[in-house]
Amino acid sequence: MPRHRIVPALLILLLSLVLPVSADKKKKNTDEEGMIPEVSTKPQKKKKEDEMTQTLPPPKEPPAAVVAETDRLFFQVSPLSSKGLLSQQTRDAMRTLLRSSHGTNIVKLRAFVAGSGDMRRIQEIAGEVFGEKHLALPAISVVQAGALPMEGAQVVIESIGVDRRTINPNGVAFVSGQATDSIEQSLDRLKLALQAGGMESQDVLRVTCFVSSLEASRSGRSALDSIFPSAAINVVQMQRLPVKPGSECEGVARLRSAPANAVEFVNPNGLDRSPNYTQLTLVRAPKVVFSGTQLGFGSQDADIKLAFERLQRAIGGVNAKLDKLAMSHVYVTSMAIADRIRQIRKNFYNAGNPPASTMLPFEGLPSLDASFGVDVVAIPEAANAN
C-alpha cells in the first residue's frame, strides 16, 4: 500500500479507539454528578459524654421539738468571730460547738444574727454541718439582733446538749428575764431569784443579757464572767436603735437540792409579781422538751391565736402541752403587739402557774412578714415522752 494512504488509515484507527473511551468517561462523570449523596441516619458518636446534671437534695428540716434528759443538760455559747461573712461564721460556730460537745447530742440551737445576712442560711448550714457528722438536727431558733459585742461578728449561737453522764442530779431552774435600766441591776435581780431557789452564782449554767446599747452596757458586760464563773455568757443588743428596757438578763442554773414536785413555780419576795409569768421555774422532771421557733404573721387576735395553735401541735408530737411549760421566749418586731400576745397566750398557758418568760423586741425574724416568734421549754407527759 502506498505510504500516503497508510498514515490516514492509522489516524482513523486511533480515533476509533479513543472516542468510545472518552464517551464512557463523560457518561460516567455525568451519572455521578446527577446522583443524590447518601445521608447517614445513624447517630454520630460524641467525642465527649454530656456531663450529668446533679440535683441537690432539699435541705433537711429541723424537728419542731426535741425531748432531752433534764439531769444531763449542758449549755454553751459559741465564741464570737469577725472572720468571713455570715455563712463562714455560722459554720465555724457550729463546728466549734460540736467539737466542745465531744460527740454528745445537741438538742437545741438559738442563733442571734447581726447585719444583713440571710437568716434562712442558719437552718441550711445546720443541715450541712450536722449531716457531715451524721448527727440528728436539733430544734432551731433564729432571731435578728441589732448588734453583737465584736466588730464584724455576724452571729452568735447558744446550744443545749445532752451529756453522757448525770451532771444535774437535782434538776435545773429557768429564770425569767429581769428587766431593768442596766446590766448591773438586772444581774442583782437574777441573783435574788437564784437565792430564792437555793442556788448561788456558781450554779448558773448560762446567762443571756439582752441590752438596748452595747456601748452603754460595757461595764456590766465586763463583770459577767467574774459574777458567774461557771456559766456560758451571751450578750446581745436587741435592735439597732435604743429600745426599752435598757437590759434584761435571763438564766438557767443547776439546782442544789431537789424540789418536792417535778415542777415548781417560785415568785420570791423583792421581785415583781405578774399574772403573765413566773420568776423562777424549778424542774426535776426527768425530761424536758425544747421547741423551735413558731412564727406569727399579722397582729390580729386570729393571727396570734393561729401561731400558738401551731406551736401546740408541734410540741404535741412529743406528748407535751402549752399548759405545762417551764420557760417561754417571745421575740417581737414591735412591742405594740406585746399586750395582745399576752392576752391570747393566756388561753394556752397555765393561768395558775405560768412559765418563766422573756418577751423582748428584736430587729427581725427569718421571714420578713413575721410579726413575732415564740419558742418554749415544756414538760412532757412522763408516760409517753420519747
CATH of the domain at 90: 3.30.1330.40
Instruction: Establish if 96 belongs to a structural domain.
Output: yes
Per-residue pLDDT of the chain in tens (386 residues, 90 and over written 9): 455 554 445 455 544 544 444 445 444 444 444 444 454 445 554 444 444 555 556 667 999 999 999 999 999 999 999 999 999 999 999 999 999 999 899 999 999 999 889 999 999 999 999 999 999 999 999 999 999 999 999 999 999 999 999 999 999 999 999 999 999 999 999 999 999 999 999 999 999 999 999 998 888 888 898 999 999 999 999 999 999 999 999 999 999 999 999 999 999 999 999 999 999 999 999 999 999 999 999 999 999 999 999 999 999 999 999 999 999 999 999 999 999 999 999 999 999 999 999 999 999 999 999 999 999 999 999 744 44
pLDDT of amino acid 18 = 46
- Tell me, yes or no, whether 82 lies in a domain: yes
What predicted TM-score, i.e. pTM, was given to this entire model? 0.84
Residue 117 counted as domain residue:
yes
Number of domains in the chain: 1
Name the phi and psi angles at 252, rounded to 5. -130, 135
Domain for residue 44, yes or no? no
Check residue 115 and report its DSSP letter. Answer: S
pLDDT of residue 221: 87
Q: Which of 245, 255, 153 is nearest to 198 (CA)?
A: 255
In a domain, 172, yes or no: no
Q: Which strand ranges, in their side-by-side order, compose the sheet holding 105-113?
A: 73-77, 155-162, 105-113, 139-144
* Any domain includes 104: yes
In a domain, 225, yes or no: no
Q: Is 131 contained in some domain?
A: yes
162 grid coordinates: 445532752
**What is the span of the domain harbouring residue 125?**
59-167
Residue bearing cell 460516567: 28
In whole angstroms, give the CA distance from residue 269 to residue 152. 42
Residue 148 near residue 80, CB atoms below 8 Å: yes
The pLDDT of residue 146: 98
